[in-house]
């Protein structure tokens, strides 16, 4: 599933063409792609037609385009893509929703929502004040999502305090989008490897200095992945121009089962975790007693 870097790459790519663009026409080819919209496709089409987009925004893995009091929420799911196209360009056979828009500078464009597995979605939702910053408005469907570590308003102290009170293990905490958002399996494994923390380390036994180091490594891996366009293992994860990211070439732990740990040379191992896998170095990353 796309994580913070992949979604931010899409948001940044959309910004020049979407901010200030007016929606001229909406076509829904797959109603299942509106599963999070509260109403039928006719309501989605009627409310979105004629709307003008403000600057695209993001929190964690959620992306949205404000349209006044509402916003168009885009969730990429497992395989969703948002592609910018010329109006007369051929459509991908897996296109689910099409928006014909006109930008004051770029002119007529097409925004295609393409989704192979149909786990992603688009929806119109009302904007509400953010709990921790009422001047900022976010979609109501995103209100429960915590800020991500690249958000300027992310509170390190609040996060570290909440983490210490959690009765869970560290990777489960990193994947808890109500505690810290934008981190999925790939970047959790990479940050834990960089910080030398075992994925099953109890959060209450993690010292404040080690937790602080881990948070710093989370930021570093997200920033690096963002600079490299995100992680693409196949054609499903692309930017708005259809290009893949190349952070997969920089991975130290995730997907590296059996390969030597870049730090100690021992093999990276994989263990089952929450219906997926955790990749780590059993030598460098050990569960430690509380200190």
Residues 18, 137: Cα–Cα separation, whole Å: 19
Determine whether 3 is an active site residue: yes
Instruction: State yes or no: pLDDT of 133 exceeds 60.
Output: yes
Does 97 fall in a domain?
A: yes
Beta pairing partners, 100? 25, 110
Helix (H, G, I), strand (E, B) or coil at 33: helix
Query: End-to-end alpha-carbon separation of the chain, Å?
Result: 35
In this structure, the answer to whether residues 172 and 136 fall within a common structural domain is: no
Determine whether 61 is an active site residue: yes
> How confident is the prediction for the chain on average, in pLDDT?
92
Q: Which of 71, 70, 92 is closest to 80 using CA atoms? A: 92
Q: How far is CA 279 from CA 175, 184, 286, in A?
A: 15, 13, 13
More confident residue, 232 or 15: 15
Determine whether 2 is an active site residue: yes
Residue 234: burial class (beta carbons within 10 Å; 0-12, 13-18, 19+): exposed
In this structure, the answer to whether residues 75 and 195 fall within a common structural domain is: no
More confident residue, 232 or 267: 267
Helix (H, G, I), strand (E, B) or coil at 114: strand
Determine whether 56 is an active site residue: no
Instruction: State yes or no: pLDDT of 247 exceeds 80.
Output: no
- The whole-number pLDDT of residue 197 equals 98
Task: Say if CB 279 and CB 256 are below 8 A apart.
Answer: yes
The full length of the chain comes to 291
- Residue where a domain terminates, one of 142, 168, 187: 142
Residues 116, 114: Cα–Cα separation, whole Å: 7
Which segments within the chain are labelled E, that is strand? 22-28, 57-59, 62-66, 70-75, 80-85, 95-103, 107-115, 121-130, 133-139, 268-273, 276-281
147: left (phi over 0), alpha (psi -120 to 50) or beta: beta
Instruction: State yes or no: pLDDT of 54 exceeds 80.
Output: yes
User: The domain containing residue 68 runs over which residues?
Assistant: 4-142
The one catalytic residue in 59, 61, 96, 147 is: 61
The one catalytic residue in 32, 117, 208, 276 is: 276
Q: Which residues contact 209 (CB under 8 A, 6 or more apart)?
A: none
Does 148 fall in a domain?
A: no
* 147-194 residue pLDDT tens: 999 999 999 999 999 999 999 999 999 999 999 999 999 999 999 999
Residues 123, 33: Cα–Cα separation, whole Å: 8
- The whole-number pLDDT of residue 4 equals 87
- Residue where a domain terminates, one of 111, 142, 173: 142
Q: 126: pLDDT confidence band, cut at 50, 70 and 90?
A: very high
Q: 229: pLDDT confidence band, cut at 50, 70 and 90?
A: confident
pTM of the model: 0.91
In this structure, the answer to whether residues 173 and 203 fall within a common structural domain is: yes
Total domains present in the chain: 2
In this structure, the answer to whether residues 110 and 184 fall within a common structural domain is: no
Token digits of residue 190: 């990479």
- Residue where a domain terminates, one of 142, 165, 189: 142
- CATH of residue 208's domain is 1.10.8.50
In this structure, the answer to whether residues 59 and 135 fall within a common structural domain is: yes
More confident residue, 40 or 288: 40
In this structure, the answer to whether residues 244 and 168 fall within a common structural domain is: yes
The one catalytic residue in 2, 5, 56, 66 is: 2
Count CB-CB contacts under 10 A for residue 267. 14
The one catalytic residue in 3, 6, 57, 190 is: 3
Instruction: State yes or no: pLDDT of 246 exceeds 90.
Output: no
Instruction: State yes or no: pLDDT of 131 exceeds 60.
Output: yes
* 91-105 residue pLDDT tens: 999 999 999 999 999
- The whole-number pLDDT of residue 141 equals 95
- The whole-number pLDDT of residue 234 equals 46
Token digits of residue 35: 């599963």
Does 290 fall in a domain?
A: no
């Amino acid at each position: 599933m796309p994580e913070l870097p992949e979604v931010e790459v899409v948001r940044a790519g959309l910004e020049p063409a979407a901010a200030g663009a007016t929606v001229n026409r909406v076509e829904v080819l797959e109603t299942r792609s509106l599963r999070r919209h509260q109403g039928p496709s006719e309501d989605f089409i009627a409310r979105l037609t004629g709307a003008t987009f403000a600057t695209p925004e993001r929190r964690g893995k959620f992306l949205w385009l404000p349209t006044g009091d509402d916003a168009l929420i885009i969730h990429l799911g497992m395989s969703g893509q948002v592609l910018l196209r010329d109006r007369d360009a051929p459509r991908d056979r897996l296109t689910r929703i099409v928006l014909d828009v006109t930008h004051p500078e770029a002119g007529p464009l097409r925004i295609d929502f393409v989704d192979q597995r149909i786990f992603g979605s688009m929806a119109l939702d009302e904007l509400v004040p953010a709990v921790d910053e009422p001047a900022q408005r976010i979609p109501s469907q995103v209100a429960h999502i915590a800020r991500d570590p690249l958000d300027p308003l992310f509170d390190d102290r609040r996060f570290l305090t909440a983490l210490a009170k959690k009765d869970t293990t560290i990777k489960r905490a990193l994947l808890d989008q109500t505690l810290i958002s934008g981190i999925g399996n790939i970047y959790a494994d990479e940050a834990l490897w960089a910080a030398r923390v075992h994925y099953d380390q109890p959060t209450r036994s993690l010292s404040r200095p080690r937790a602080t180091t881990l948070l710093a490594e989370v930021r570093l891996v997200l920033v690096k992945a963002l600079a490299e366009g995100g992680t693409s293992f196949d054609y499903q994860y692309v930017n708005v121009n259809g290009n893949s990211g190349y952070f997969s070439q920089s991975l130290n732990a995730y997907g590296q089962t059996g390969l030597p740990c870049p730090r100690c040379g021992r093999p990276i191992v994989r263990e089952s975790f929450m219906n997926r896998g955790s990749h780590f170095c059993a030598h460098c990353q050990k569960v430690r007693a509380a200190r």
